[in-house]
Structure 1
Amino acid sequence: MQFRHHPQLRADFPTLVVGTLRLDGVSPSAPADPAPWLDIARARLADTSEGQLPPIQAWRRAFTAMGLKPTQYRCASESLLRRLRREGDLPSLHPLVDLCNAVSAAFAIPVAALDADRITGDLEVRRADGTERYDTFTGDVEHPDPGEVVFVDTAGRAHARRWTNRQSGHSAISAATSRAFIVTEALHEDATADVTALLAALTGALRTTWPTATLTTTT
């Protein structure tokens, strides 16, 4: 599978920094420990609100540029931090998802984890033409608005809507997942350093959790 951002999207958002990680050998029973990363996120929230963090502010500006209300459609990391601030914790869903969510909250940067075997062909982040199919977690089928930024595969299936806002139920990590594709994206001033640090932190956590898994990281 090849992964890329469309050149026009790169031109529209020149500060975009992307990191990817491929994980082969996932199991749902691994003893993941997201607590250290959640503690970092809680410490950040003790000093400021999630909306004041530079990575979140950059995504809010991007959502505004896309014609979206940033307080109605939030990037994934802001939604996680918002829930963590209100509830004090994040729900446990799957060891891989739990780690990705915790590291995302710690760095305030979106992290998407997809079941690689549920992606057909290549995956591109681009503006939708409106024909793409998006499967919700409740089983409904939607079609992204033309011009909306989506993760779309060769078969025309959208695996995320509104860029970093909402993933698809079709490729969500589940108990059956054995291969995962992980993407992190940032737009703020220190994005290069922060994405590098995020990938290092997540790679370390994944190696501890699945020591026999195969990991490949790119930035």
Structure 2
Amino acid sequence: MHFRHAEAIWSDYPGLAAGALHATGISSATATAVGPRIAEHTARAVARLTDTTEGQLPEVLAWRRVFTRMGLKPTQYRCASESLLRRLRKEGTLPHIHPVVDLCNAISAAYAVPVAVLDADRITGPLLEVRYARGDEHYTTFTASTEHPAPGEVTFTDSAGRAHARRWTNRQSGHSAVGEHTSRILVVTEAMHDGGTEAVPELLKTIAEELATHWPTDPTTAVLTSSAPEFTFGS
């Protein structure tokens, strides 16, 4: 299986910093053990919000500029990390979904950088690509309804034409959401701010170390660039 950003994405967004991770042996059985780590990363996110709002963070502002360039109102369609930080600021907590998703959400909030976690067995290979939609892709919502991304929208699209994310880092698909039967995950993180090339490798390392501590797994990772855009994972 291969993951990559299309050449047009790298060309249009040369400031993109991206990384990917693949891990096996994932289950929901370690919810208690991972709890303190989730709390620690969440506390780091809370500390960043002490004297500011999520909309003023450079990591978020960079994605707001990208959304504006894509023709989207950035306060209507927010990148995933901004949505998490906004909820944390308003409600004081992050959602509880699945231990591995909760962990990655907390790390995403701590770094203010979007992190997508997909059930790798729900992706049809051999390719998952971040690319501009043609308009014939099909996207499954969390209520199991089907949508079709507009032509030109940035999507995570697999070889079967299924979109696993809409509006780039705004919303993942219910089809590949991590659940009780998940055993293999693909994690993707993407930054657009000036420090992204330093933040993404650090964020990937943090996730890999946390996964290896709490699950029986030895994750593989890759930092992606326009000259080395592809991550090969799984069998």
In 1, the alpha carbon distance for the partners of 2:55 and 2:82 equals 7
**2:34 aligns with one of 17, 32, 35:** 32
In 1, the alpha carbon distance for the partners of 2:96 and 2:68 equals 31
In 2, the alpha carbon distance for the partners of 1:36 and 1:202 equals 13
In 2, the alpha carbon distance for the partners of 1:75 and 1:7 equals 22
Equivalent pairs counted in the alignment come to 218
Question: What pairs up with 1:136-147 in 2 under 5 angstroms?
Answer: 136-147=141-152
2:15 aligned residue: 15
Deviation readout 1:155-204 (Å, 9 max, x if unpaired): 00000000000000000000000000000000110001111111121112
**2:67 aligns with one of 59, 63, 70:** 63
2:115 aligned residue: 111
2:100 aligned residue: 96
1:5 aligned residue: 5
Structure 2 unaligned spans of 5+ = 224-235
1:134 aligned residue: 139
RMSD of aligned alpha carbons:
0.7
1:153 aligned residue: 158
Code of the residue aligned with 1:66 in structure 2: it is M
Give the SS at the match of 1:85: helix
In 2, the alpha carbon distance for the partners of 1:80 and 1:153 equals 26
Question: Kindly, what percent of the aligned residue pairs are identical?
Answer: 60
**1:124 aligns with one of 117, 124, 129:** 129
Deviation readout 1:11-32 (Å, 9 max, x if unpaired): 1100101111101110111132
Alpha-carbon shift at residue 137 of structure 1 (Å): 0.3
In 1, the alpha carbon distance for the partners of 2:18 and 2:25 equals 23
**Is residue 2:194 matched to residue 1:171?**
no
1:81 aligned residue: 85
In 2, the alpha carbon distance for the partners of 1:216 and 1:203 equals 8
Q: Normalising to structure 2: TM-score of the pair? A: 0.92
Structure 1 unaligned spans of 5+ = none
**Is residue 2:51 matched to residue 1:47?**
yes
